[in-house]
C-alpha cells in the first residue's frame, strides 16, 4: 500500500503518530503501573495503528 499523506504540520503529525502508538502506556508509566506490554502486544498495536494513521493523514 502506497499512500500520499497530507501533512501540514510535521511536528503535530509526529506527535499524533507517537500518541497512537503509545496509547495509555505513558500514563500507566507515570502512575507507576507495572504491566508493560510484551513484544507481541507492541507489534500488534503497531499493526493496528499504522492504517489508522494513514487514514487520518491521507490525501
Segment 1-51, tens digit of pLDDT: 566 888 999 999 999 999 999 888 888 888 888 788 889 998 999 999 999
Q: For residue 43, what are the domain limits? A: 10-57
Residue 4 resides in a domain: no
Q: Given this model, what pLDDT does residue 26 score?
A: 80
Chain-centroid distance, C-alpha 4: 18
Residue 22 resides in a domain: yes
Collapsed DSSP state (helix, strand, coil) of residue 32: coil
Q: Given this model, what pLDDT does residue 3 score?
A: 67
Residue 35 resides in a domain: yes
Domain count, the chain: 1
Bridge partners of 5, per DSSP, are: 58
Chain-centroid distance, C-alpha 50: 7
CB 10 within 8 A of CB 43: no
Residue 3 resides in a domain: no
Pairwise CA distance, residues 57 & 55, whole Å: 6
Read off the pLDDT band of 53 (50, 70, 90).
very high
Amino acid at each position: 500500500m502506497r499512500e500520499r499523506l497530507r501533512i501540514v504540520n510535521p511536528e503535530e503529525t509526529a506527535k499524533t503518530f507517537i500518541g497512537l502508538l503509545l496509547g495509555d502506556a505513558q500514563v500507566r508509566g507515570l502512575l507507576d503501573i507495572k504491566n508493560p506490554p510484551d513484544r507481541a502486544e507492541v507489534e500488534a498495536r503497531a499493526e493496528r495503528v499504522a492504517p489508522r494513521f494513514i487514514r487520518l493523514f491521507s490525501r
